[in-house]
């Protein structure tokens, strides 16, 4: 029960990131964009950060390429009177991601059992297979096993 409540709290928190889904990073990077908006020179930002002008220029080149650390961004943000907001935004509702994984796990399991049953002349109909996949998927969603995210087809 506690695990289920915690999972729901995590999902609720992720749901609040949906507004960020359409958010785009400026092609020149945030540091350069904010610095220019403030009318600050590379030298001035470097002074505020306690680094050289060339270090700021390097940071501004590396940021759009994704080659900066959060610590570097936080230092620049502080010098620009900003803050870094870090988030992972799901591509869609978390429930859909969970349902897809549950269906994959269920399909792999049911198909394996179905092959064995066919060898024993107890083959399931396509509808029975679909029903078993749906039932198994729901069980995975209700009580995900430890190996839920393992990619091993034997799971």
Whether residue 32 has pLDDT greater than 50: yes
**Per-residue tokens: 111:** 């198909």
- Centre a 10 Å sphere on the Cβ of residue 4 and count the other Cβ atoms it contains: 11
State the average pLDDT over residues 39-64.
Answer: 98
Percentage of residues in the chain with pLDDT exceeding 70? 93
pLDDT tens per residue across span 76-120:
999 999 999 988 888 888 889 999 999 999 999 998 888 767 666
Q: So what's the pLDDT on residue 155?
A: 44
Cα(138)–Cα(2) distance, rounded to whole angstroms? 19
State the average pLDDT over residues 27-45.
Answer: 97
Q: Which of 1-5, 73-77, 141-145 has the lowest mean pLDDT?
A: 1-5
State the average pLDDT over residues 55-70.
Answer: 97
Q: So what's the pLDDT on residue 132?
A: 92
> Helix axis angle, 2-15 relative to 94-119, nearest 10°?
130
**Per-residue tokens: 31:** 């540091």
pTM flag (> 0.95): no
Whether residue 10 has pLDDT greater than 70: yes
Q: What are phi and psi of 21, to 5 degrees?
A: -60, -35
Whether residue 121 has pLDDT greater than 80: no
Whether residue 153 has pLDDT greater than 80: no
Rounded to the nearest integer, the mean pLDDT of the chain is 89
Whether residue 154 has pLDDT greater than 60: no
pLDDT tens per residue across span 50-59:
999 999 999 9
């Amino acid at each position: 029960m506690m695990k289920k409540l915690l999972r729901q709290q995590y999902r609720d928190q992720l749901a609040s990131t949906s507004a960020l889904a359409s958010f785009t990073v400026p092609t020149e990077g945030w540091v350069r964009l904010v610095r220019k908006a403030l009318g600050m020179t590379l030298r001035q930002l470097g002074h505020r950060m306690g680094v050289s002008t060339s270090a700021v220029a390097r940071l501004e080149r590396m940021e759009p390429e994704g080659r900066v650390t959060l610590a570097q961004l936080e230092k620049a943000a502080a010098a620009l009177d900003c803050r870094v907001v870090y988030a992972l935004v799901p591509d869609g509702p978390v429930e859909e991601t969970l349902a897809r994984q549950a269906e994959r796990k269920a399909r792999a399991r049911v198909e394996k059992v179905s092959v064995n049953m066919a060898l024993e002349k107890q083959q399931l109909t396509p509808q029975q297979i679909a029903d078993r996949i749906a039932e198994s998927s729901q069980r995975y969603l209700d009580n995900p096993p430890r190996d839920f995210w393992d990619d091993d087809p034997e799971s």
